[in-house]
């Protein structure tokens, strides 16, 4: 079975800027995969090279075993791409847009499938409206529809939910998950780590053009061994020996960062020694966001500023 | 083939949907030129022996409309697609650079011929202009619009903003058309300007096109056709190289 996407020693420089510095990546057919990373990490450059929108400086990329340069026709037939920008052709209606897009892939008489996609993406009522007349969310759905006209086995979504309202986002994910169950390989980039955590089997984290982590989400989370402990104490004084572990102080609560579960015993022992009672205790698991922050080293930036942009 | 035909169809649909601007407006402006120049100059000039100035002017104006609109079609379509970003849909598809080239060139040809034919059909209602040889007329209109369509692709890809495209149009295309003998026979010029005009490829397109109307021209239509074909091949080679390398469109 060919790999859905295979990238070998891929480099891309824009002048002095090295957008990608030798990336290797293999994505199996049927995976639900996420590319994560801060702005400017090289996610879109990587996707653009796979899609043939950008030419690599060196290295190779292939889709379902077809090289994206040497065998670009086959590679592009295997790939559906949802661009990050809300682009559309203002001259045409939704249906014309999809019919034209089908034609580019050599498909005549694609009406039945187009109807099906329109239905799935809840676009039937807008099918004959001009693209200009659609809201941003509707345009986003048309972009998804356009990427599917040729039933590609591999679908790449570049930040599909940026600037999309909650309802549409959920609908979109339901549909994309369905596509994945039907056997499509899904690759997405996102800033919303909770989405990646909820949907994906594996993630790659990019930083400054390099993959800094590549694993299943479970393995990544367990690789970051820290957990935190939330304590309400009586008296409300943290023993001196535990002060170095303290990471945050909430109303009535002390939050400690531990290097692992084994450290819990030390904390309890120290509290016993000081005759401090535990009124409430909670152990907090790390999530993908913490892994991300730890690995990409963007600690100290709040979630809103770092990821919701 | 379906991919190529679809892109061609999309390009035709694009200009047809804004036909007032792309077909009828150029027809009107060309007819205005005709009315004004024929009124002012009819009595004073006789370009070829026995050919009235208005009759001489009409083929020139028709060809000018053909050339300008062929250029406008591919160049404005490309720059709009680049700036709005929807060129990505063509670039993501399996269309080859050759298919893209021929689709844009042919769409330009169709628009050029549509405007030219429109201008001609209106003028024959008012003036007496007979066509001596349809094959020559068609051949020059086709090759001329194909050449300008290809130049339009280069300009559309090269220009990063509308401003630059307008500069290309106003400082290159417009002077070359106006100084190519649309409004006068080169024989009426002083020798120096005649020589200079022979370096202008637009002159051969206009002159050969006009030969199809009067069986008379400044130089042999075979030479003109040869020069136009050589220009088309050279410009196409450059255009295809640009498209193949992804210059400015696949960074």
Three-state SS letters, A72-88: HHHHHHCEEEECCCCCC
Provide the pLDDT confidence category of residue B179 given band limits of 50, 70 and 90.
very high
In this predicted structure, the answer to whether residue A303 has a pLDDT above a threshold of 50 is no
Question: What pLDDT shows up at residue B14?
Answer: 95
Residue A307 lies in a domain: no
Average the pLDDT over each of A132-141, A175-184, A284-293 and give the range with the smallest value: A284-293
In this structure, is the dihedral angle defined by the CA atoms of residues A82, A86, A89 and A93, taken in order, positive or negative?
positive
Question: What pLDDT shows up at residue A299?
Answer: 42
Question: What pLDDT shows up at residue A263?
Answer: 86
Domain that holds residue A115: 5-221
Question: Between residues A194 and B212, which one has the greater pLDDT?
Answer: B212
Question: Between residues B96 and A292, which one has the greater pLDDT?
Answer: B96
Angle at A80 between CA A207 and CA A100, to 5 degrees: 135
From residue A179, give the alpha-carbon distance in Å to each of A82, A123, A165, A166, B33: 14, 17, 21, 20, 60
Question: What pLDDT shows up at residue A142?
Answer: 95
Q: What percent of chain A has pLDDT over 90?
A: 53
Q: What percent of chain A has pLDDT over 70?
A: 95
Provide the pLDDT confidence category of residue B38 given band limits of 50, 70 and 90.
confident
Question: What pLDDT shows up at residue B166?
Answer: 96
Helices (H), chain A: 43-51, 72-77, 94-104, 111-120, 136-148, 166-181, 193-199, 217-223, 263-273, 288-296, 303-307
Cβ pair A104:B90 closer than 8 A: yes
The residues near A118 (Cβ < 8 Å, ≥ 6 apart) are A94, A95, A98, A124, A127, A145
Residue A13 lies in a domain: yes
Provide the pLDDT confidence category of residue A223 given band limits of 50, 70 and 90.
confident
CA-CA-CA-CA torsion for B155, B157, B161, B167, nearest 10 degrees? -10
Question: What pLDDT shows up at residue B234?
Answer: 98
In this predicted structure, the answer to whether residue A52 has a pLDDT above a threshold of 70 is yes
- To which residue do tokens 């990505």 refer? B88
Cβ pair B94:A104 closer than 8 A: yes
Angle at A282 between CA A279 and CA A283, to 5 degrees: 145
Q: Backbone phi, then psi, for B29, in 5-degree steps?
A: -65, -35
If asked whether residues A105 and A242 sit together in one domain, one would say no
From residue B135, give the alpha-carbon distance in Å to each of A87, B70, B140, B232: 44, 20, 9, 19
Provide the pLDDT confidence category of residue A162 given band limits of 50, 70 and 90.
confident
Question: What pLDDT shows up at residue B45?
Answer: 67
If asked whether residues A229 and A205 sit together in one domain, one would say no
- How many CB atoms lie under 10 A from the CB of residue A152? 21
Question: What pLDDT shows up at residue A306?
Answer: 36
If asked whether residues A150 and A97 sit together in one domain, one would say yes
Question: Between residues A1 and B34, which one has the greater pLDDT?
Answer: B34
In this predicted structure, the answer to whether residue A298 has a pLDDT above a threshold of 60 is no
If asked whether residues A40 and A188 sit together in one domain, one would say yes
Question: What pLDDT shows up at residue A305?
Answer: 36
Domain end marker among A205, A221, A237: A221
If asked whether residues A63 and A158 sit together in one domain, one would say yes
Average the pLDDT over each of A236-240, A303-307, B173-177 and give the range with the smallest value: A303-307
Rounded Cα–Cα distance for residues B108 and B84 (Å): 20
In this structure, is the dihedral angle defined by the CA atoms of residues B198, B200, B201 and B205, taken in order, positive or negative?
negative
If asked whether residues A216 and A229 sit together in one domain, one would say no
Helices (H), B159-218: 162-168, 174-178, 191-197, 201-214
Residue A153, classified by CB atoms within 10 Å of its CB into exposed (0-12), middle (13-18) or buried (19+), is middle
Domain end marker among A221, A242, A262: A221
pTM for the predicted model, two decimal places: 0.88
Cβ of residue A56 closer than 8 Å to a chain B Cβ: no
Provide the pLDDT confidence category of residue B202 given band limits of 50, 70 and 90.
very high
Q: Which residues of B touch A67 (CB under 8 A)?
A: none
User: How many Å lie between the alpha carbon of B225 and the closest alpha carbon of chain A?
Assistant: 34
pLDDT tens, A234-256? 888 888 888 888 888 888 888 88
Residue A242 lies in a domain: yes
pLDDT tens, A15-41? 889 999 999 999 999 999 999 988 888
Question: Between residues B66 and B251, which one has the greater pLDDT?
Answer: B66
**Tokens coding A287:** 């999530």
Q: Which residues of B touch A46 (CB under 8 A)?
A: none
pLDDT tens, B63-120? 999 999 999 999 999 999 999 999 999 999 999 999 999 999 999 999 999 999 999 9
Residue A200 lies in a domain: yes
Name A261's bridge partners: none
Q: What value does the mean pLDDT take over residues B150-169?
A: 97
Instruction: Using alpha carbons, select from A132, A98, A133, A131 the residue that is nearest to residue A117.
Output: A98
If asked whether residues A139 and A240 sit together in one domain, one would say no
Q: Which residues of A touch B7 (CB under 8 A)?
A: 103-104
Cβ of residue A4 closer than 8 Å to a chain B Cβ: no
If asked whether residues A153 and A242 sit together in one domain, one would say no
In this predicted structure, the answer to whether residue A115 has a pLDDT above a threshold of 90 is yes
Residue A34 lies in a domain: yes
Residue A295 lies in a domain: no
Provide the pLDDT confidence category of residue A225 given band limits of 50, 70 and 90.
low
- How many CB atoms lie under 10 A from the CB of residue A59? 16
Interface test with A, best of B12, B94, B97 (most A CBs within 10 A): B94
Provide the pLDDT confidence category of residue A1 given band limits of 50, 70 and 90.
low
Instruction: Using alpha carbons, select from B105, B124, B101, B125 the residue that is nearest to residue B113.
Output: B105
If asked whether residues A117 and A89 sit together in one domain, one would say yes
In this predicted structure, the answer to whether residue A300 has a pLDDT above a threshold of 60 is no
CATH number, domain of A111, equals: 3.40.50.300
From residue A102, give the alpha-carbon distance in Å to each of A109, A147, B61, B111: 9, 10, 40, 24
If asked whether residues A233 and A199 sit together in one domain, one would say no
Question: What pLDDT shows up at residue B71?
Answer: 97
Residue A254 lies in a domain: yes
For residue A108, the chain B residue with the least C-alpha distance is B2
Residue A309 lies in a domain: no
Rounded Cα–Cα distance for residues B148 and B68 (Å): 8
Q: Which residues of A touch B89 (CB under 8 A)?
A: 87, 89, 100-101, 104, 146
Question: What pLDDT shows up at residue A6?
Answer: 97
If asked whether residues A42 and A128 sit together in one domain, one would say yes
Cβ of residue A90 closer than 8 Å to a chain B Cβ: yes
Question: What pLDDT shows up at residue B188?
Answer: 84
- How many CB atoms lie under 10 A from the CB of residue B160? 12
Domain count, chain A: 2
Q: For residues B237-251, b (16+ Cβ closer than 10 Å) or e, as one string? A: eebbebbeebeebbe
If asked whether residues A179 and A281 sit together in one domain, one would say no
In this predicted structure, the answer to whether residue A55 has a pLDDT above a threshold of 90 is yes
For residue B84, the chain A residue with the least C-alpha distance is A87
Question: What pLDDT shows up at residue B4?
Answer: 97
């Amino acid at each position: 079975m060919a790999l859905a996407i295979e990238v070998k020693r891929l480099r891309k420089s824009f002048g002095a800027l090295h957008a990608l510095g030798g990336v290797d990546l293999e994505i199996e057919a049927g995976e639900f995969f996420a590319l994560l990373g801060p702005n400017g990490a090289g996610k879109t450059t990587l996707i653009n090279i796979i899609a043939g929108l950008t030419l690599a400086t060196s290295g190779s990329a292939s889709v379902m075993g077809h090289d994206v340069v040497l065998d670009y026709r086959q590679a592009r037939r295997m790939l559906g791409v949802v661009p990050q920008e809300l682009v559309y052709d203002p001259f045409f209606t939704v249906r014309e847009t999809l019919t034209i897009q089908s034609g580019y892939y050599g498909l005549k008489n694609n009406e039945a499938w187009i109807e099906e996609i329109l239905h799935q993406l809840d676009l039937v009522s807008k099918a004959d409206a001009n693209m200009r007349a659609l809201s941003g969310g509707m345009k986003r759905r048309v972009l998804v529809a356009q990427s599917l006209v040729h039933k590609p086995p591999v679908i790449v979504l570049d930040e599909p939910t940026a600037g999309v309202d909650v309802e549409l986002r959920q609908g979109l994910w339901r549909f994309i998950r369905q596509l994945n169950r039907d056997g499509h390989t899904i690759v997405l980039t996102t800033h919303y780590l909770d989405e990646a955590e909820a949907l994906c089997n594996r993630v790659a984290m990019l930083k400054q053009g390099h993959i800094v982590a590549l694993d299943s989400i479970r393995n990544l989370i367990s690789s970051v061994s820290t957990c935190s402990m939330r304590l309400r104490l009586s008296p409300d004084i943290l023993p001196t020996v535990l002060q170095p572990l303290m990471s945050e102080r909430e109303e009535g609560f002390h939050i400690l960062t531990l290097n692992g579960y084994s450290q819990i015993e030390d904390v309890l022992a120290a509290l016993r020694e000081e005759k401090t009672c535990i009124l409430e205790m909670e152990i907090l698991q790390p999530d993908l966001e913490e892994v991300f922050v730890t690995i990409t080293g963007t600690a100290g930036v709040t979630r809103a500023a770092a990821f919701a942009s | 083939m379906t991919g190529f035909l679809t892109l061609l169809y999309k390009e035709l649909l694009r200009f047809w949907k804004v036909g007032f601007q792309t077909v009828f407006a150029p027809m009107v402006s060309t007819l205005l030129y005709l009315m004004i120049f024929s009124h002012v100059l009819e009595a004073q000039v006789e370009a070829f022996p026995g050919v009235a100035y208005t009759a001489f002017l009409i083929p020139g104006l028709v060809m000018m409309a053909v050339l300008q609109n062929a250029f406008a079609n591919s160049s404005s379509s490309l720059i709009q697609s680049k700036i709005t970003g929807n060129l990505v849909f063509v670039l993501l598809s399996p269309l080859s650079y050759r298919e893209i080239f021929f689709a844009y060139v042919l769409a330009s040809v169709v628009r050029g011929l549509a405007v030219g034919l429109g201008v001609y059909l209106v003028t024959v209602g008012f003036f007496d202009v007979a066509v001596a040889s349809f094959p020559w007329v068609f051949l020059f209109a086709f090759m001329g619009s194909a050449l300008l369509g290809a130049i339009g692709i280069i300009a559309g890809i090269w220009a990063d903003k509308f401003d630059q495209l307008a500069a290309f149009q106003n400082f290159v295309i417009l002077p070359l058309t106006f100084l190519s003998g649309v409004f006068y026979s080169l024989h009426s010029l002083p020798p120096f300007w005649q020589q200079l005009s022979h370096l202008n490829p637009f002159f051969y397109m206009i002159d050969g096109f006009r030969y199809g109307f009067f069986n008379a021209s400044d130089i042999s239509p075979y030479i003109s056709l040869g020069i136009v074909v050589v220009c088309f091949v050279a410009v196409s080679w450059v255009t295809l190289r640009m498209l193949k390398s992804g210059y400015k469109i696949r960074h």
